[in-house]
Amino acid sequence: MQQFQKNLFYSLLFLFVSQITLFSQDEILTGFNEQIQFSKITPDYIEKSHKKAMNELDEKLKSIYNIPDEMRSFDNTIKAYDIALDKFNTLWGTIYLMANAHPDAATREAANNANITFAQYGNKLSLDEDLYRSFKEYSKSDKAKLLVGFKEKYLRESIRDFELNGFALSKEKRDELKVMRDRLSVITNAFSKNITEYQDFLIVTEDEVRGLDKDYKKARLQEDGTYKIDLSYPSYLPFMKLSESESARKALSEKYLNRAADKNLVMLEKMALNRLEMANFLGYNSYAEYTLETRMAKNPATVWEFENGLIEKVKEKGKADFEELLAVKREKTGNDTVSVVNGWETSYYDNILNKEKYQVDGEKVKEYFELNNVLDGLFQITQSLFGVEYKKVENASVWHKDVTMYEVVDNGEIIGRFYLDLYPRDNKFGHAACFPIQKGMMTDKGYQIPTAALECNFPEPTEDAPALMTHEEHGQVQTFFHEFGHVLHNMLTRSEMSGFSGTSVSRDFVEAPSQIFENWTWDYESLKLFAKHYKTGEVLPIDLYEKMVAAKNVGSGIATLGQIFYGTIDLTIHDKYNPNEARTTTDIVKELQNKILFTPYREGTHFQAAFGHLNGYAASYYGYLWSKVYAQDMYSIFEEKGILNPEVGKRYRDLILAPGADKEPMELVKEFLGRDPNAEAFYKSLGL
């Protein structure tokens, strides 16, 4: 009878912990599967809620610690932890988004401060001896040894991560490690904040905007007749491609390549030094060696082999691309002896090359890619492929008037929510990215539906002009499809564990489910669904499409070498660099650019200061090309059986998107392909 009472007590205790986690309400994160009230977020709310969240999680974890060893189970220890951490992470995801997207400066500042505290709390959690002991004790039980599938993987990887975080160290050493991690959290948050908040611009004359269309000029016209060109993508990229003024392009690119350099060159040195010290403290030779242990690649040697092998494979195509650009420059300048194409010239001459040799005028092509049409096509394709429906929610609670919210519906049931924040504004996240907010997971009340936001910087429509998007390799249309792939990975997950949900997969696989969707922007069967002239409604003509495809891989070698360059900078800083040496990160950029690229390094520039991936993707930027190998291989199945084939779409949804991290990435890919993966489709996609 006494044992029965103990069982009942701990069952009720677990129920209490899970219920309070799921259903404790506040004014922003309301009840189970209800909308987040973003419009009500204030600095005061952020200040109070983030402290409360840490206190609540502490109490819930204590309940887990206090369970006697013989009473531990997967549900009352591992699942209880996953549930408790999920509520905490949902608030963190909400506040992290506000730091990058909220229009109010005080709210962003409060969110940035909270993010530092959250990160430091996360460091404490990763070194929580009682939590580690709870997991370790359970892992030794007979019940734990019978675990299979995602439960076995979750327990094994959790213990692995604890031990990577220093549980082979003494308590005193772990306390030292926490200080290191806390210091690093402050540095990395400042690095990102400096990029987001950096603003600069170039004032140019009428002569210097020659080549740009009237709508572009009208949007940037000043009262004195000059033009203000900021550094956001919709301003910078067209100017670099179309302005006939070389001096203006050179001046603007210098500003662009020095974004946040006033603060972040020092911050990057600190970040690299702290990461190296932490890795050495844990017994690793480099931060890359430490972090890659949990990736598909496993170690830096594998990544170096991958990057260097790609250079050899792509260099010849890159050389041919460069010679094409050089020929254009020689013709346009009348100088047959010129042998260099500079960074501020590549987009300009590439545009001329496409227009004159390949007869593809990017500005004319844009007329077939009005933003709303692209959005409709993206929605139509993905809804059809995956058997879902997106319903716009009117009067949704959002953080800015331009933000829209959609519910993902499957057979009448809401299975996810996502937000679209598409246009640039001051102090907003400067690129395009998916921000997960709430993860999907199984609860005793049903499946918790995931929530995510898509932050972009696409052109905004005006009274006189629609929002026309660039369509080219790495253009805005392709970016939209890519980032929506991340949204879908979050929306269509069915993982039972929050920690395995959606994009919680290995960092060097996470880009594959997004990169695969870029292919739908290049197939005529899908393009004709949405590529329609913004004035006439005419579908993209087949002859223009064929010219676009012929020009698709113009510059593919240069572009791929660019990705290798970024990945190699990242890997060098985190594997072969000591900030205590005389060599600087600028020295690294100069050396690698002159070695890998055909455009020479430009003295006085420091692009790495605004290379935000050095924060979130530290030692993992290689994952973009690594995962693209798998993305292109998986797309070959769609090519074979129909890119709009809902049966293939369902199989992809079930085998790749739904599991999240429940299985190893290679296992997912092999199951979908029905064979071992290979790089043939990847090289074909580059025109090799």
Catalytic residue among 483, 496, 511, 518: 483
The residue among 475, 473, 481 whose CA lies nearest residue 526 is 481
**Distance of alpha carbon 511 from alpha carbon 321, whole angstroms:** 26
Hey, what CATH class is 371-552+641-685 in? mainly alpha
pLDDT, mean of residues 391-401: 97
Please state the length of the chain.
Answer: 688
pLDDT band at 182 (very low <50, low <70, confident <90, very high): very high
Cβ neighbours around 671 below 10 Å, total:
14
Residues whose CB is less than 8 angstroms from the CB of residue 223 and which lie 6 or more positions away in sequence, other chains included = none
pLDDT, mean of residues 77-102: 96
The residue among 516, 508, 450 whose CA lies nearest residue 483 is 516
Q: Is 93 exposed, middle or buried (0-12, 13-18, 19+ CB in 10 A)?
A: buried
pLDDT, mean of residues 216-240: 94
Whether 4 shows a pLDDT value over 80: the answer reads no
pLDDT of residue 25: 52
Per residue in 501-560, pLDDT tens? 999 999 899 999 999 999 999 999 999 999 999 999 999 999 999 999 988 888 889 999
User: Is it true that domain 261-357+556-621 has CATH number 2.60.40.10?
Assistant: no
pLDDT of residue 48: 95
**Distance of alpha carbon 410 from alpha carbon 103, whole angstroms:** 33
**Distance of alpha carbon 417 from alpha carbon 493, whole angstroms:** 12
Residues whose CB is less than 8 angstroms from the CB of residue 604 and which lie 6 or more positions away in sequence, other chains included = 254, 258
Q: b/e map of 298-335 (b: 16 or more CB within 10 Å)?
A: eebeebbebbeebbebbbebbeebbebbbebbbeeeee
**Distance of alpha carbon 521 from alpha carbon 519, whole angstroms:** 5
**Distance of alpha carbon 552 from alpha carbon 92, whole angstroms:** 40
Verify whether residue 483 is a known catalytic residue: yes
Which residue, chain included where needed, has tokens 């509520």? 87
Ranges for all domains in the chain classified under CATH 1.20.1050.40: 2-126+128-164
Alpha helices in 41-104 (DSSP H): 43-65, 80-101
Whether 3 shows a pLDDT value over 70: the answer reads no
Ranges for all domains in the chain classified under CATH 1.10.1370.40: 371-552+641-685
Per residue in 94-143, pLDDT tens? 999 999 999 999 999 999 999 999 999 998 998 899 999 999 999 999 99
CATH superfamily of 2-126+128-164: Endopeptidase. Chain P; domain 1 (1.20.1050.40)
Q: What's the token pair of residue 319?
A: 């050389």
What backbone phi and psi angles, to 5 degrees, belong to 559? Answer: -65, -40
Whether 227 shows a pLDDT value over 90: the answer reads yes
The secondary element (H helix, E strand) that includes residue 414 is strand 413-421
pLDDT of residue 11: 38
Ranges for all domains in the chain classified under CATH 1.10.1370.10: 261-357+556-621
pLDDT of residue 365: 95
Per residue in 333-388, pLDDT tens? 999 999 999 999 999 999 999 899 999 998 899 999 999 999 999 999 999 999 99
